[in-house]
């Protein structure tokens, strides 16, 4: 091994995962995290791996993009996925975590690691650090570091706007108007559902589409990420749009759902169930409007808001133009990029990119040429997409549309996806055994 240390900028999901991987392989890690000394528009604590939006890490089912990606990460022994599973809150078919205990455990383990030095300091010019360097500063990268990247890359960053949903107090909900049940009986039954009649829904939709939103500070053109649209933006696409989205009234057996026009689902934030978030209700509405409009939902008439929904600007770079297949900058030898700033979208996707960056850096430290994960795997498919897709580049999350089709055609979607998942896990295991285990 030529060198036995690395500097990582950013203690989010990607940076923490990379730090864990490299430290387990004997590499000394300097992990720079600017919080809490330097705040961001969305973070609330100085904890590492803090989850800003939902506390859900998506479905565990293998016929979903998120489920397959997690299964692949388990093959590669992801540290953060293990921590998430140890701090999960039962919630339908998804891996949902207690965000506080999840972040606290990441912070504790990193702080106690003999091979990781946690440095609470903002880095605005990585060229002052010794290489190799991994930039995992996230979508809320500080203006100083963002400015440095702009000067190095020679172009403006790309960006999109992301919204988070409100969190409410369980005891303030009129529980008589709802029921616990997981849609279609998938997963645990601690999802709380609030049905709405036709009249109630139409009134809610009218007020939602006319609600006053918070003006944006930035002068940039407004660009939303399609899978995280504000609920009011979805509603404006038509009166039925929410009924095929977050308020779809199907998949329930409880008598209270019979004849319902719409159903709002609430997901617990912790095992104790004191707080719930409104699933799919990320919003840009002003705080007063959130109170007024969301209290129109039956059961939320006197609800107490623990956290209001909000919107923030997320930054990412044009990865196909600037990154090699090993996540190293084309213009900057020894400098790597991972996390949402690299063009992946989602918690698990960020963890994945941090782990792959860690594997890539370790191989470089040992003088071994990096071999990309197989494109038949979800990991390989995501990386291939963010590194080759050129036109109107936008962040990518795990989905089966990225995975190559099977040679043998299977009409049934679930059976087809399960077959693709089986192939993905097999090829990734072969890659892990043949490359990762040998570096």
- Does 322 share its domain with 307? no
Q: What is the CA radius of gyration of the chain?
A: 22
- Does 117 share its domain with 184? no
Please tell me the distance from the alpha carbon of residue 228 to that of residue 283, in angstroms, as a whole number: 9
CATH number at residue 385: 3.50.50.60
- Does 230 share its domain with 93? no
Q: φ, ψ for residue 149 (rounded to 5)? A: -65, -40
CB-count exposure of residue 136 (10 Å: 0-12, 13-18, 19+) = buried
- Does 309 share its domain with 384? no
CB 227 within 8 A of CB 246: no
Q: What's the total number of domains in the chain?
A: 2
Paired with 266 in beta bridges are: 192, 278
- Does 277 share its domain with 372? no
| The pLDDT of residue 310 | 84
| The pLDDT of residue 313 | 74
| Final residue before a domain boundary, out of 293, 313, 333 | 313
CB 346 within 8 A of CB 52: no
- Does 151 share its domain with 178? no
Q: Given its phi and psi angles, is residue 273 left (phi above 0), alpha (psi -120 to 50 degrees) or beta?
A: left
CATH number at residue 225: 2.40.30.260
The average pLDDT across 396-418 equals 91
| Final residue before a domain boundary, out of 291, 313, 335 | 313
- Domain, as residue range, for 137: 5-157+317-438
The set of residues, in sequence order, having a beta carbon less than 8 Å from that of 271 and lying 6+ positions away, is 89, 90, 98
Please tell me the distance from the alpha carbon of residue 70 to that of residue 95, in angstroms, as a whole number: 10
93 or 431: which leads in pLDDT: 431
- Does 75 share its domain with 167? no
- Does 349 share its domain with 376? yes
| The pLDDT of residue 1 | 42
Paired with 158 in beta bridges are: 316
The chain-wide mean pLDDT, for the chain, equals 91
Please tell me the distance from the alpha carbon of residue 322 to that of residue 154, in angstroms, as a whole number: 10
Q: φ, ψ for residue 171 (rounded to 5)? A: -70, -15
| The pLDDT of residue 390 | 66
Q: Which of 264, 237, 388 is nearest to 324 (CA)?
A: 388
- pTM comes to 0.79
Q: What is the DSSP letter of 404?
A: P
| The pLDDT of residue 271 | 78
Identify the band that residue 2 occupies on the pLDDT scale cut at 50, 70 and 90.
Answer: low
CB 66 within 8 A of CB 58: yes
| The pLDDT of residue 395 | 81
pLDDT digits (tens, 9 = 90+) for 359-401: 999 999 999 999 999 999 999 999 999 998 666 677 888 999 8
DSSP codes of every residue in 41-91: SS--SS-TT---S-SEEEE--TTSHHHHHHHHHHHTT-HHHHHHHHTEEEE
- Does 232 share its domain with 202? yes
Please tell me the distance from the alpha carbon of residue 61 to that of residue 71, in angstroms, as a whole number: 9
Q: Given its phi and psi angles, is residue 2 left (phi above 0), alpha (psi -120 to 50 degrees) or beta?
A: alpha
- Does 287 share its domain with 378? no
The average pLDDT across 404-415 equals 91
- Does 335 share its domain with 388? yes
- Does 428 share its domain with 304? no
| Final residue before a domain boundary, out of 276, 292, 313 | 313
Q: Scan for tokens 């004849």, then name that residue.
A: 259
Please tell me the distance from the alpha carbon of residue 263 to that of residue 251, in angstroms, as a whole number: 10
pLDDT digits (tens, 9 = 90+) for 190-242: 899 999 999 999 999 999 999 999 876 654 555 665 567 899 999 999 999 99
pLDDT digits (tens, 9 = 90+) for 80-102: 999 999 999 987 788 999 999 99
| The pLDDT of residue 314 | 77
């Amino acid at each position: 091994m030529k060198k036995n240390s690395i500097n990582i900028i950013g203690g989010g999901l990607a940076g923490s995962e990379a730090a864990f991987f490299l430290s387990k392989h004997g590499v000394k890690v300097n992990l720079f995290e600017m919080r809490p000394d330097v705040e961001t528009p969305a973070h609330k604590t100085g904890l590492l791996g803090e989850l800003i939006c939902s506390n859900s890490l998506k479905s565990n089912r293998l016929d979903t993009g998120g489920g397959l990606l997690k299964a692949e990460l388990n093959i590669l022994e992801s540290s953060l996925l293990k921590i998430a599973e140890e701090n999960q809150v039962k919630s339908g078919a998804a891996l949902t975590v207690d965000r506080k205990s999840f972040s606290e455990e990441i912070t504790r383990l990193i702080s106690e690691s003999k091979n990781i030095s946690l440095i609470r300091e903002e880095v605005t010019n990585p060229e002052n650090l010794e290489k190799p360097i991994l930039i995992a500063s996230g979508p809320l990268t500080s203006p100083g570091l963002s400015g440095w990247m702009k000067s190095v890359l020679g172009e403006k960053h790309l960006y999109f706007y992301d919204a988070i949903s409100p969190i409410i107090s369980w005891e303030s909900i009129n529980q008589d108007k709802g029921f616990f049940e997981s849609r279609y009986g998938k997963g645990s039954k601690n999802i709380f559902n609030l049905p709405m009649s036709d009249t109630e829904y139409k009134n809610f939709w009218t007020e939602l589409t006319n609600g006053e939103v918070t003006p944006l500070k930035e002068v940039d053109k407004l660009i939303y990420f399609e899978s995280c649209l504000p609920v009011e933006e979805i509603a404006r696409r038509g009166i039925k749009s929410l009924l095929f989205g977050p308020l779809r009234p199907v998949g329930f057996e409880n008598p209270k759902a019979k004849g319902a026009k719409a159903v709002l689902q609430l997901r617990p934030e912790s095992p104790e169930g004191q707080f719930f978030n409104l699933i799919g209700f990320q919003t840009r509405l002003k705080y007063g409007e959130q109170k007024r409009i969301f209290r129109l939902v039956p059961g939320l008439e006197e609800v107490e808001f623990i956290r209001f929904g909000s919107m923030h600007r997320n930054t990412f770079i044009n990865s196909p133009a600037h990154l090699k297949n090993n996540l190293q900058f084309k213009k900057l030898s020894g400098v790597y990029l991972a996390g949402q700033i690299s063009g992946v979208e989602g918690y698990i996707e960020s963890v994945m990119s941090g782990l792959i960056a860690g594997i890539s850096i370790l191989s470089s430290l040992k003088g071994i040429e990096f071999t990309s994960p197989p494109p038949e795997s979800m990991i390989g498919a995501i990386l291939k997409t963010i590194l080759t897709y050129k036109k109107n580049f936008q962040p990518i999350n795990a989905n089966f549309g990225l995975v190559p089709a099977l040679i043998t055609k299977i009409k049934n979607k679930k059976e087809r996806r399960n077959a693709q998942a089986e192939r993905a896990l097999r090829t990734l295991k072969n890659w892990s055994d043949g490359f990762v285990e040998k570096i």
